[in-house]
Amino acid sequence: MGSTKKELLVENLLIAGAAGLLAFLVAAASFLVTANDVARERAALSDLAGRPITAAPVRIDDPAILRLYRIQGQGPQLYGAALALESRRGTALAVALVAANGELQAVSLMDANSSRSPFTRVGWFADDLGKGGETPFPSDLGGVRSPAVLSGATESFFLTSTVFERLSKAVRAISKEGQ
């Protein structure tokens, strides 16, 4: 039995409609996941800063700086950022607080792709805290206070410091613009 042109047309329209519905559902799910990620980042930054995050993120042209917020409230001007940290040993999502002069105040790990990722080690971010203002971030082993933190993860350590350095520069630039 042969199919008529009308039957083929209806069949193709049904398939196209189903594919369109599937695309819409995937896009909606992606939007909800992104919105949930942003809400979790804001909550983590608010906990670090002790202040609510109310402002919209500032646009930064850096793939490692996912979102950068100016944190309102009493006290010194602070900026909060969601960061994508990546190395050959793993990836992680972290949030960081930075003073207006670019000094890294606090860092909190949100997610890591593996429990063996170097970013999950206790004290991983300790050598970067307090850097970025008057003190540069470590760029070689001579700038590291505790080489034990590096054991087997030197590349990851310096890639992390590089991301923090770029974040520090971005915050100083935004702070000078008065945004």
Q: pLDDT tens, 79-124?
A: 999 998 877 777 788 899 999 899 988 888 888 776 667 777 777 7
Backbone angles phi, psi at 70, to 5 degrees: -90, 125
Buried b (16+ CB within 10 A) or exposed e, 58-72: bebeeebbbbbbbbe
Residue 58 pairs with which residues in a beta bridge? Answer: 68
d(CA 128, CA 147): 13
Tell me the domain boundaries of the chain. Answer: 47-177
Does residue 140 or residue 79 have the better pLDDT? 79
Give the tokens for residue 174. 């935004």
Q: Mean pLDDT throughout 65-72? A: 88
Cβ atoms of residues 149 and 123 within 8 Å: yes
Q: What pLDDT digit, counting tens, does each position of 11-50 carry?
A: 888 888 878 777 776 765 555 455 567 788 888 888 888 8
Determine what percent of the chain is predicted with pLDDT higher than 90.
11
The mean of the pLDDT values for the chain is 77
Q: How confident is the model at residue 168 (pLDDT cuts 50, 70, 90)?
A: very high
Alpha helix stretches (DSSP H) within the chain: 5-49, 154-177
